[in-house]
Chain A
């Protein structure tokens, strides 16, 4: 403990009052914790609320360490901050980047039940805490005589061994329940990387492209994703523009860009029309193109259209 007292002069002095060091630590951390806790309540984004909780947890760990409960303080960070909040954030991120809370209640009477349950819990807690009796404090020196973790271990695995076993059983049950609920029989044989590669090669004959699709005309002619690259024959390569942009009809008209270059080479001005030229009719007005593209993609499992080169030439003619 000697080191900690040099770094954080924290323990109570002989008269039982807080030392200056601990008082300073408290008054620095307390406002931060309150702000973090308020952040949990009022933050609009779920991730910000989670960040507020993390701030409170880490500050709380500092407090524990300052009060000579080193093990508790560190385990607070390892378990709660490092694992549980991490899992929370993991789920929040996967659910959606911007999903702010929807305030419509899906369960009828949820609010009433919640209030009743909360009140009940408050009554139970008040009853238990009100009736609790405390033994005479032994003092930190005696409690941490055999170092903090050893003292704690003797209490947890000695006095409270039964409670610990029950909590252990509960956790194992929960883990097993999660395993059972998420278990699924495999209905189809597993396809490994080798088989998928073979299937793609076999589909080569159906016009599937094995190589990566051509990159868009970025850097070659222009600095935007929506400009198709030009093929060796001078025709725009439809497949070079990302599929999403094509499906949305946001593809730029490549011939217009090609014409610009020609104008510049001929000594004229680049800008003929001010706004960047958009394709007048996406994929020559062929609206079910989405379905066609999806079909082409799913058929091979490749992230690109199957018969794209043919389509582009048709669209251009």
Chain B
């Protein structure tokens, strides 16, 4: 399609049965241990943000808190609701977890390394539509939430699952559209090729709008604050997992955190250069840090920075109201994504068919736009605090509408009986119009 950009997909020709098995097991172990760490991490960071220590009792820095919680969850009584649709009720959490475990199979952790003499990429598999496969896995995972809520035979879970359906459908659109601009620029949908094509600059820099759209919709996709409407505890108890307990609940919980890790890994791969070392490091010793096992470190650092971003957002923003959330999805994200896509395709087509090299001019234009925006931002006057017009003092009814009420702005509290007596005692010598403060000062 694009000869000058086409790069080879990762080479899996030396993989044999046990290497595939080993990589699969490694992904599984990585996800499960990372979830345990992620829960501790989230509680600790949110705790710090709210000026409290967070878990700090079990193990060093409270690291074993999650293990204790997990064991407690597993040995709890497993309650099945009588009104539940038994089979679906059992399958739903399993669907969630299995779909969540599938995604990392196509995410590259690093370039080709030697495992026991076999040269193999640090990636379970890759194929020409790998990113679409990720979307497919997330949409199957949504069935877990949806069926779990429906099969519970209860109102709040049903509302939660209806919300999650609407949410997944509307945010997957924006997410898919933001990914398309990556495909257009990379000329491929294979994850290893996308990482390969980011060797000169990350797509977060080249496609800033798509990056922002993806980050917003990925938070919506994994149901985390401020978009956690399917399980809003203030409105729906716990949403789709209200009627779940013990291990079945734990599976939903697990799937939620695995999904958070998944979208972070996908965001890293598609926008943040994947396993490639960040700029100053990548220049050291002729790209030494981009070879061997080093890239795993960069990949993990980027994933955990995104996880920190998740926690940061959770600790900062309030939950959206449902209509605001839908408006954001349909009236902001999708139109912006469409417009951006048209722009990217137009530029790409000019480059391909008009055979003009637009990279230099584009960087100039982007720089100019940034500078102009910065300059304009200095000239926008601060919003002036419009002082409300001083209202005329109106008579104050202390029992307006039958309740004892405080004076509203513009109403003046009548002098208290004690003050009236004081004023009477002062007689004609004092000015009757003294303010209460002056009165207090005098006393």
Contacts and interface: CB of A to CB of B under 8 A. Distances in A.
Interface of A: 1-4, 6-7, 45, 47-48, 51, 54, 58, 61, 70-71, 74-75, 77-78, 81-83, 86-87, 89-90, 93-94, 97, 146-150, 193, 204-205
Nearest to A72: B129
A312 to B, nearest CB: 20
Contacts of B129: 70-71, 74-75, 148-149
Nearest to B146: A89
Nearest to B105: A7
Contacts of B321: 193
A97 B125 contact: no
Interface in B88-110: 88
Contacts of A86: 139, 142-143, 146, 165, 168-169
B189 interface: yes
B127 A70 contact: yes
A204 B20 contact: no
Given A90-B165, A149-B189, A205-B403, A78 B125 contact: no
B117 to A, nearest CB: 18
Given A86-B168, A89-B165, A148-B128, A7 B140 contact: no
Interface stretch (B50-58, B62-70, B130-138, B294-302): B130-138
B409 to A, nearest CB: 15
Contacts of B143: 54, 86
A77 B129 CA distance: 12
Given A58-B140, A82-B142, A93-B150, A204 B403 contact: yes
B135 to A, nearest CB: 5
Chain A binding surface SS class: helix
B241 interface: no
Contact of B15 (A3, A51, A74): A3
B402 interface: yes
A93 B140 contact: no
Given A93-B150, A149-B189, A71 B128 contact: yes
Given A1-B127, A6-B12, A148-B129, 8 more contacts: A3-B127, A6-B17, A58-B140, A77-B136, A78-B136, A82-B142, A86-B142, A93-B162
Contacts of A90: 162, 165-166, 169
A54 to B, nearest CB: 7
Contacts, number: 102
Contacts of A93: 146, 150, 158, 161-162, 165
Interface string B70-95: 00000000000000010010000000
A97 B85 CA distance: 10
Interface of B: 1, 11-13, 15-17, 20, 85, 88, 125-129, 132-133, 135-136, 138-140, 142-143, 146-147, 150, 153, 158, 161-162, 165-166, 168-169, 172, 188-189, 321, 401-403
Closest 9 A/B residue pairs (Cβ): A82-B139, A205-B401, A77-B136, A147-B128, A3-B12, A3-B125, A74-B132, A90-B165, A78-B136
B87 to A, nearest CB: 8
Nearest to B123: A3
A61 B402 CA distance: 70
Contact of B125 (A4, A61, A146): A4
A74 B1 contact: no
B411 to A, nearest CB: 16
A242 B386 CA distance: 46
A48 B151 CA distance: 10
Contacts of B158: 93, 97
